[in-house]
Amino acid sequence: MSKLTYSQLEGVWIQAGGQKSLAPLMAAIALAESGGQTNALNNADNGGRQSSYGLWQISTGTHTAPDPNWADPLVNARLAVGKLKSQGLNAWGTYTSGAYKPFLANGVAPTAVSSTAAQTIPVGETENTATCAWNIHLPVAGDTCVFSKIQLRSLLGIGIIGVGGFVGIIGLVILVAYGLGKNPGALLPKGVMGRVAQSGGNTTV
């Protein structure tokens, strides 16, 4: 579960195309609606007739989710922007009841939120520690990561696929060699396998 702060809620509202002057109010509404929890889900909203999803508790009036990625903060914020444009502020019960008021603050600078169709910042982590591999940064302006966690996962994935393909090719060559009754080492470039020695019917690479 991930939780967004007041400034992050302001930031994601603006990122989603929401009016900047309304960011403090919409952040307060989100906190009143969901506590800032990105995956907040109310399956018994409106007397059990509908479900409400995410930061701004978006609903279709049924139990069907408004979007497959509703828990992504940017997606939910875009849904909220659309809801505001089509229904106005009174669409949120926490606004009409005034429940948002204890959360309302002014002068809080918006903070950008990472979003890759569901990437959020876990509770207790900052954006940098959540996205930088091993939390290692270059000593330059902007606090640039050496590797982001996403980049590191991609590199590891490519490496694993490459090693797996290499091993698979060697295995295929060995099978073909046995099928032709030849020494597997004769079908491979020198230095790839070292040597192929047969002892007691077993092949050692």
Report residue 114 as tokens.
């990472």
Give the per-residue pLDDT at 182. 62
On whether the CB atoms of residues 43 and 37 are closer than 8 A, the answer is: no
Percent share of the chain, pLDDT over 90? 49
Question: Half-sphere exposure (CA, 13 Å, Cβ side) for 44?
Answer: 0
Q: At what angle do helices 73-87 and 6-15 cross, to 10 degrees?
A: 70
User: For 125-158, what is each residue's pLDDT tens digit?
Assistant: 433 434 455 555 544 433 445 555 556 666 777 7
The model carries a pTM of 0.57
DSSP 3: B
User: For 79-122, what is each residue's pLDDT tens digit?
Assistant: 999 999 999 999 999 999 999 999 999 889 999 887 643 344 44
Alpha carbon of 2 to those of 13, 45, 128: distances in Å?
17, 22, 15
